[in-house]
A and B are shown apart, each in its own frame.
Chain A
């Protein structure tokens, strides 16, 4: 699916617009950036309840295309500015983490491979 499909499935709001046509196949959900850096391998979507700028940096280092803030959390202006600078798509959904992940999974996104 593409980022556009993700927006539709999660009824999400676009907070920062990157490449909405980008193909995404895998995702991961975590509130621990340490774990994302340590275990994630080729996931292109990050779902998280954290909204500090290091979420954008972590996604950048992992070559992710899209960040989704769950539970309707509003990222601050610093987060949005950083995401725009990195051409990173940032979405906001009112769904909670479990539901958001479940919806994407049911619609065809996978967890991908994890490195250990």
Chain B
């Protein structure tokens, strides 16, 4: 039962329409293998928020997902502008999203706080001018012990 399923995705930065394809695929894979529905929901929301961030703030990037029986690890890496002040970025309502992103229904500054809420652990490695890597983990069984 120690087998880990690994998946890699490229998240294109020039096509907002396709943002979320990777998260959707992971969601389907987890459903297929009968993963805990509560964990699937957390993974889907957290990864989707991360994916959208890569597209709207960083010009796209890569996603690596490891699915283990007890946890899902996600690593989202981009070579965008980086985040100058992570503490500030983590605050509800803080957003640098331009008006055109807001017109699409995003840019409320809720993504990172939401990721924190839905994951069991998250970490942001970022360097201005170099890029950002977002590490997220969702445990298969959390609170909802059977």
Contacts and interface: CB of A to CB of B under 8 A. Distances in A.
A60 B24 contact: yes
B59 interface: no
Nearest to B105: A33
Interface in B87-141: 104-111, 113-114, 117
Contact of A37 (B107, B109, B114): B114
Given A61-B45, A61-B48, A62-B45, A31 B105 contact: yes
A55 B52 CA distance: 12
B20 A34 contact: no
Interface residues of A, number: 21
B35 interface: no
Contacts of B111: 34, 37
Nearest to A49: B105
B44 interface: yes
Given A60-B24, A62-B45, A53 B105 contact: no
A32 B108 contact: yes
Interface in A44-77: 48, 50, 52-55, 57-58, 60-63
Interface string B19-31: 1100110010000
What secondary structure prevails in chain B residues at the interface with A?
helix
A78 to B, nearest CB: 6
Nearest to B103: A50
A64 B106 CA distance: 18
29 contacts: A32-B106, A32-B108, A34-B106, A34-B111, A37-B45, A37-B48, A37-B49, A37-B110, A37-B114, A38-B113, A38-B117, A52-B105, A53-B17, A54-B20, A54-B104, A57-B19, A57-B24, A58-B48, A58-B105, A60-B44, A61-B20, A61-B23, A61-B24, A61-B27, A61-B44, A61-B45, A62-B45, A63-B41, A115-B117
